[in-house]
Structure 1
């Protein structure tokens, strides 16, 4: 069934792509899973406007939000076979396609937001983006997705011990599953689109995500406890398929990179506003905001990096990130 869906999307998008090129304008299709009110989508709209302006109408962007073209995993697969041009995914999902990316999903890796930006916007972040090309994925930039924290239905989480026995939804990410297990919870991978129903029906007891995602998904209607332990700073990654990238001229690549750079900067300003607004909104809706002692969570899994010592190159990458000013 999954293969049939991908093939059908491939056929539809392939035909449309051919038509758009024949008209003399290169129209790029970007699929993602977020709501249209999300800061990332709004920044993508700006990217499309900038791209059309910069290219004098020679390049345009069509955006398909809210999983119209499939889940994050499916969009990545469509990029790999050349049937979708661009997508935005969480690093947590991307690590299944570009393994080195999993370093960004390690808990309590970054000291603060600025530290994460210094890493992502510097040579380490660029190296990770470039590393996806061997998997037919061209990394273009990082959107801010803030810090991820736990939210639960029935039992508030003040310490890691409160996670024991609780089924916590995670992305299809080994690092996310290891993190929840290390803190005492039971990690349960479920797709984002199915999570609201899973919470309602008690398939899981809670999940973990950033404030805007918690709010815009309306998960606060089911989960009334939000614990700001901020265990991971997991960025969103904007990608193009190498099938597309290699078709673009140097000039077209430059136009796209310029539009992406402006979009990323714009989204990061929007994110801070969205984060504060989301916390205020869920609080008004009756959610209890819990600000725990984060060191209890960090100390619980302080040895989580040790398992990577056998991979010297990867462990060196962790050290370089930690030592970045």
Structure 2
């Protein structure tokens, strides 16, 4: 069965399926007493308050109902199963069956994912969502890892607008970043981006950032407001500056063998739940941003609005041009982004 015919490539959902490498998964007696229940695991690197976590829990309830108890979901937040880099390897070999992952990590498996991770490519959330929900556009990319890595991309989701925060002071222009050690995600494009913006790139897993900020190994990081507050980085790095340099996605991944291991009816029931999960996650994310910002401000964080984003955009444009022009597939994705930006300009 060709997975691309059954996957809702543009939907955004949050779950975690736990099946064994053979596609089976851990089993126990189900709640109805009618046989074995397959327990799905979701690996997640954020907290229980995150809207993606809450959406995953709700999806698990609906999945159990839709399959008459044959499947359930166990969500593992806070990097309990390891960093994203570790978990995606486990997903590939079948010891973990589902996860959320930040877009830049995917570049290590197929460099064409870089297009959606480039700085300043999306002008608005609406433009990003239009692109991500275009199944025909994303079909080849989202199924490109099935044969080589046993990984299927079920969905891409909005994961906020990323900005720079620092313990050293506001970042209003590139010179303010000079010499600062800034954490980025573990990908070549993210390292190059922050270096072009003027900082020293320090790629590392999310779980190590707080202690690195606390000890001075890092001067700052870049992320959205929800991560800044929920991981308590606002306790140490008090200056959050709206560089607005990234609007990269999170992806929902599943072991291709695990998905194939479901019977047709249960697979279809699972996939049918993803659009509602997407709506819950996206709406919750936007609300969570406002809550996170208010809480960070109550702790003394300063949100800096008067940032010369045009100066930063100019500095990183060579990275965009170089990356997009690498092949025709990337050019097509980038052209679709520009069409969406024209239809949904920044407000």
2:331 maps to 315
- Does the CA contact (< 8 Å) of 1:40 and 1:143 recur in 2? no
**1:84 equivalent in alignment to 2:100:** no
Tell me which stretches of 4 or more aligned residues in structure 1 moved more than 6 Å: 12-16
Structure 2 counterparts to residues 5-44 of structure 1, below 5 A: 17-20=25-28, 23-44=35-56
- Does the CA contact (< 8 Å) of 2:104 and 2:185 recur in 1? yes
- Gapped regions of structure 2 (runs ≥ 5): 1-18
Which residue of 197, 206, 209 corresponds with 2:220? 206
Q: 1:241 & 1:211 partners in 2: Cα distance?
A: 30
- Gapped regions of structure 1 (runs ≥ 5): 1-11
- Does the CA contact (< 8 Å) of 1:168 and 1:188 recur in 2? yes
**Deviation string, structure 1 residues 214-266 (Cα, Å, up to 9, x no partner):** 00000000001001111111111111111211211221211211222221111
Structure 2 counterparts to residues 225-244 of structure 1, below 5 A: 225-244=239-258
1:255 maps to 269
**Deviation string, structure 1 residues 29-78 (Cα, Å, up to 9, x no partner):** 21211111111100100110111111122221111111111111111111
Alpha-carbon offset, residue 126 of structure 1: 4.4
Q: 1:310 & 1:87 partners in 2: Cα distance?
A: 29
Alpha-carbon offset, residue 305 of structure 1: 2.1
The one of the two structures with greater contact order (alpha-carbon pairs below 8 A, sep at least 6) is 2
Alpha-carbon offset, residue 303 of structure 1: 2.6
The TM-score with structure 1 as length reference comes to 0.91
- Does the CA contact (< 8 Å) of 1:149 and 1:229 recur in 2? yes
Structure 2 counterparts to residues 284-303 of structure 1, below 5 A: 284-291=298-305, 292-303=307-318
1:171 maps to 185
Alpha-carbon offset, residue 315 of structure 1: 2.9
**Deviation string, structure 1 residues 159-194 (Cα, Å, up to 9, x no partner):** 112111111101101111111011111111111101
**Residues 297 and 62 (structure 1 numbering): CA distance in 2 closer, same or farther, change over 3 Å?**
same
Which stretch of the first structure deviates more once superposed, 314-323 or 245-254? 314-323
Q: 2:46 & 2:39 partners in 1: Cα distance?
A: 21
- Does the CA contact (< 8 Å) of 1:86 and 1:238 recur in 2? yes
Alpha-carbon offset, residue 138 of structure 1: 1.1
What SS does the aligned partner of 1:203 have? coil
- Does the CA contact (< 8 Å) of 1:80 and 1:243 recur in 2? no
- Does the CA contact (< 8 Å) of 1:120 and 1:126 recur in 2? no
The TM-score with structure 2 as length reference comes to 0.85
Q: 2:217 & 2:249 partners in 1: Cα distance?
A: 27
Which residue of 61, 64, 74 corresponds with 1:62? 74
By percentage of residues, which structure has more helix?
A: 1
2:141 maps to 128
**Residues 310 and 71 (structure 1 numbering): CA distance in 2 closer, same or farther, change over 3 Å?**
closer
- Does the CA contact (< 8 Å) of 1:33 and 1:71 recur in 2? yes
